[in-house]
Structure 1
Amino acid sequence: MDEAQIISTYKAILAITHKMLKAAQENDGKRLFSLEQECKKLTHALIANPPQQPLSAEMQKKRIEIIHQILACDAKIRAITEPWMTHLQNLLTHAHKHIN
């Protein structure tokens, strides 16, 4: 990938992450899962196609700024979904104990 493709991919991941946050806020688990799969595909594309040469200082700065935004969205998503996942895990554990 060249610099423009790398930054474009990071921007696409950020856009999807914003959509994931909205889906989490709307309690739309199906959409959240679908968007997560899109995000994984883009992440794998970055891993599978490393830059042919190091990013310029300007592009590296942009990449880091985008990553910080992605991480901020991710933290908000986890703050919404983790309590629900813990609750679900407790329900499943409780149900499993009643079955046995």
Structure 2
Amino acid sequence: VYLDRLLAQCAEHLSLLAAPSTLDRVYDFDPDAFAQLIDTAQRSVPLLVLDVPHIWTGWTKNVLVKADEIVITATPELANLRNTKNLVDMFKRLRPNDPPPKL
């Protein structure tokens, strides 16, 4: 019931927790703000995919460090490649027993 209230049903096997529809307010979240929601979702569905924004905040770092698998998408530009390398290096350091991120 908790998830049903938060998610928008897009298809029979696809529900989305969408971003805010308006940019009138600033949405700064506590680093652990999504932990309970993710734990609940993981217990309720066979696969959970998180598409996090390209900003670097405490909550995005926490979500990614706790993820089972990380896939990084980047365009082949010098700045993106530098940032991607930094992300991969950081995740290897923070997640030494997990597989490295996929690019």
TM-score, structure 1 as length reference: 0.27
More helix by proportion, 1 or 2?
A: 1
- Pick 1 or 2: higher relative contact order, CA cutoff 8 A, min separation 6: 1
Larger radius of gyration: 1
